[in-house]
Each structure stands twice: as C-alpha cells, then as structure tokens.
Homo-oligomer: A and B are copies of this chain.
Amino acid sequence: MDNTNIHLSEIAVRYAETDAMGFVYYGNYLTWFEVARCEALAAMGHPYAEMEKQNIFIPVLSAEIQYKKPAKFGDIIKIESLRYRLGRVRIQFNYRVLKGDELLTTGKTVHAFMNSAGRAIRPPEEILEFFPEQG
C-alpha cells in the first residue's frame, strides 16, 4: 500500500523508444507517464485493469511535458509521480523523470472518471482518498 501521494517507478529505456536523433522520442514520455500512473494505482490497491472491469475508466483531459535533458538507450530512468485531487471529479498527476539525480523531464496530466458508456462519473471514495488536495 502506498499511503503518501508519491510513487516511484523505474524504467529501462527500450531501443524501440529512441529515434534517429539518438534519444528517446518526445511522444514516448506520455507512455512512461501512463506506466507511472498505473504502477501508482496498483500500489494503492486499485490496479487500473481491475477498475476497468468495474466499469471505471480514467481518461486523460490534458497533458503537458517540459523537456530539459534527453534520455537515451541504456539509461535506467526513475519516474516520480505526485498526485492531487482537483475539486470532486478530477485528479492530477505531476511527473519528474530522473536519471540518477539529474532531472530530465517534468510533466502533468489531468484526468476525469467515466463509465464504459463514456459518461462522466464521480471517482469512488476509496480511490479519491489517495489523492489529497493540492497544498
């Protein structure tokens, strides 16, 4: 169980994720953010695959990324995710992508909750409790 609002993920850069500039392609950070989110939800005891079976989906409303330094094949990357609630129906993740102590990338995603019919729903209390208000 992960009772704080922080989670740490580790990823080994895949060759598939690099591009001809020799670094990780800029779009693949959103995949890494997804991995970090899903690991955070699993650590809370609510794996996203289980949530989908219970008809709870968490689509992305917006995303942003700031690219400071590149990652490359062979790097072991750490992704620190912080999470917050935004009012009663939205949640937010802030990400920091690190190589050792070096900050490579920062980012943010905002999410709503919906059912399989695509209708907005309130996030279940047992999930929302892991998302504190932003201080």
Cross-chain contact A63 with B65 (CB below 8 angstroms): yes
User: Bound complex: CA of A18 vs CA of B49, how far in Å?
Assistant: 12
* Complex interface: stretch among A67-75, A80-88, A95-103: A67-75
User: Bound complex: CA of A15 vs CA of B37, how far in Å?
Assistant: 11
Cross-chain contact B25 with A16 (CB below 8 angstroms): yes
Cross-chain contact B15 with A34 (CB below 8 angstroms): yes
- Assembly stoichiometry (copies): 4
Total residues of chain A contacting the partner, CB 8 A: 39
Interfacial chain B residues near A23, Cβ < 8 Å: 20
Chain A interface mostly helix, strand, loop or mixed? mixed
Question: Is A30's CB within 8 Å of the partner chain B?
Answer: yes
User: Bound complex: CA of A72 vs CA of B29, how far in Å?
Assistant: 21
User: Bound complex: CA of A19 vs CA of B16, how far in Å?
Assistant: 6
Cross-chain contact B67 with A64 (CB below 8 angstroms): no
CB distance from A17 to the nearest CB of B (A): 8
